[in-house]
């Protein structure tokens, strides 16, 4: 066996040499600083910012002011890895980011009343990069008596003041109670927002407000079985609802007496048509959904896929007395479907 003392002498001789070797993979940092202002007033404004490296990797900024706030949103869809949403919402203060040197694309927007601004910037380790981004407002709906609102929000209450100002969203109705099992009351909802939910209006400022008590019944399980039904929102109620669904009628009557109004999501789901007469739900929510910058998690079906799915249902009917299968009604109607199918494939 090799002498222990000899091993120690060899190790002590190599340690200084190892310290002199370059560390692979280490990249010196570079700093990006910037501010976002209204093009007309030249005043700082809250906004949403995307930072993407030329390699397609996403990065995030932080507020450069101790009085400022920055909320990072970093999501990748669990079904489709190409469906991502990665941005930071900023208060009306300067921002800063520590980045690897390289070329970046900055995309900045504020709600739907400002034009989106895109900027290319290169940062190096030698000196920080500074950008000033001006957003041009093309309309002001609040001045005309119209205020923006959102009824489908699944975000923590503590983040909403930052988000609402960055998106210029006037009224927020976050779904703080969220139930996905039939018969379960919202007080025991499996996806509720953590913490106490106040029963009062929260004023972010004079034109941005939050009503925090709202409930989504989005039923995916009935009893012990997976059975998707649909979604109904009870909005603007004061007390915590104690009724599960279905049936929807008893819940709707008590919620309405508590000041609630109703909305529905996913108008093509199984029980959607019954929600309006039984619950008094309003206009289908999906018709008012805000557009997303990211790709959807599930790609829409191509007309050929829809046709293939329809053909799978055109099965033969039961056997006749001679042992031959009789064409089902769907099969008998197939010739009538052909012109429509050809139109789909154009």
Confidence of residue 278 (pLDDT cuts 50, 70, 90): confident
Q: What is the per-residue burial (b if ≥16 Cβ within 10 Å, else e) of 25-62?
A: eeeeebebbbbbbbeeeeebbbbbbbbbeeeeeebbbe
Q: What is the reported pTM?
A: 0.77
**DSSP assignment of 178-190:** EEEETT--GGG-T
Mean pLDDT in residue range 175-189 = 94
Considering 16-20, 35-39, 188-192, 266-270, the range whose residues carry the highest mean pLDDT is 35-39
The 3-state DSSP class for residue 304 equals helix
pLDDT beyond 60 at 316: no
Lowest-pLDDT range of 39-53, 115-129, 159-173, 222-236? 222-236
Quote the mean pLDDT of the chain.
81
**DSSP assignment of 37-87:** EETTT--B--EEEEEEETTS-EE--EESSTT--EEEEEEE-SS-TT-EEEE
Mean pLDDT in residue range 47-65 = 97
pLDDT beyond 60 at 283: no
In this prediction, residue 277 carries a pLDDT of 78
* DSSP letter assigned to residue 241: P
Q: For residue 102, what is the enclosing H or E element? A: strand 102-109
In this prediction, residue 299 carries a pLDDT of 58
Answer with the residue of higher pLDDT: 184 or 82. Answer: 184
Confidence of residue 32 (pLDDT cuts 50, 70, 90): very high
pLDDT beyond 90 at 269: no
**In sequence order, which residues have a C-beta less than 8 Å from that of residue 4 and are 6 or more positions away?**
none
In this prediction, residue 295 carries a pLDDT of 63
pLDDT beyond 60 at 332: no
Contact 43/135 with Cβ under 8 angstroms?
Answer: no
Domains, the chain, with CATH or none = 30-135 (2.60.40.10), 147-288 (no CATH), 308-315+325-346 (no CATH)
Mean pLDDT in residue range 16-35 = 60
| 231-268 tens-digit pLDDT | 999 999 999 999 999 999 999 999 999 999 998 887 77
Q: How many residues are given for the chain?
A: 346
In this prediction, residue 143 carries a pLDDT of 94
Sign of CA dihedral 31, 36, 37, 43: negative
Q: For residue 166, what is the enclosing H or E element? A: helix 160-167
């Amino acid at each position: 066996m090799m002498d222990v003392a000899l091993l120690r002498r060899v190790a002590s001789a190599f340690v200084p040499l190892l310290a002199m070797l370059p560390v692979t993979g280490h990249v010196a940092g570079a700093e990006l600083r910037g501010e976002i202002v209204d093009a007309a007033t030249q005043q700082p404004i809250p906004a949403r910012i995307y930072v993407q490296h030329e390699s397609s990797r996403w990065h995030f900024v932080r507020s450069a002011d101790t009085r400022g706030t920055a909320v990072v949103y970093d999501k990748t869809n669990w079904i489709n890895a190409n469906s991502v949403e990665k941005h930071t919402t900023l208060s009306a203060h300067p921002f800063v980011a520590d980045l690897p040197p390289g070329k970046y694309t900055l995309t900045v927007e504020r709600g739907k009343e400002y034009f989106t601004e895109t900027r290319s910037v290169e940062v190096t380790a030698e000196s920080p990069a500074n950008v000033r981004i001006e957003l041009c407002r093309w309309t002001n709906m609040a001045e005309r008596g119209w205020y923006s609102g959102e009824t489908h929000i699944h975000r923590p209450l503590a983040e909403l003041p930052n988000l609402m100002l960055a998106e210029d969203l006037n009224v927020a109705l976050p779904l703080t109670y969220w139930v996905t099992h039939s018969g379960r009351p919202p007080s025991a909802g499996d996806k509720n927002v953590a913490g106490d939910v106040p029963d009062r209006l929260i004023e972010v400022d004079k034109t941005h407000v939050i009503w925090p008590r709202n409930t989504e019944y989005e039923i995916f399980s009935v009893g012990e079985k997976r059975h998707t039904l649909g979604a109904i929102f009870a909005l603007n109620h004061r007390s915590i609802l104690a009724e599960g669904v279905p049936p929807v009628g008893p819940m709707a009557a008590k919620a309405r007496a508590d000041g609630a109004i109703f909305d529905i999501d996913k108008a093509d789901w199984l029980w959607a048509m019954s929600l309006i007469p039984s619950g008094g739900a309003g206009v289908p929510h999906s018709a008012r959904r805000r557009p997303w910058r990211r790709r959807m998690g599930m790609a829409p079906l191509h007309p050929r896929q829809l046709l293939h799915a329809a053909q799978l249902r055109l099965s033969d009917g039961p056997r006749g007395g001679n042992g031959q299968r009789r064409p089902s009604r769907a099969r008998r109607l197939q010739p009538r479907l052909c012109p429509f199918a050809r139109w789909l494939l154009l």
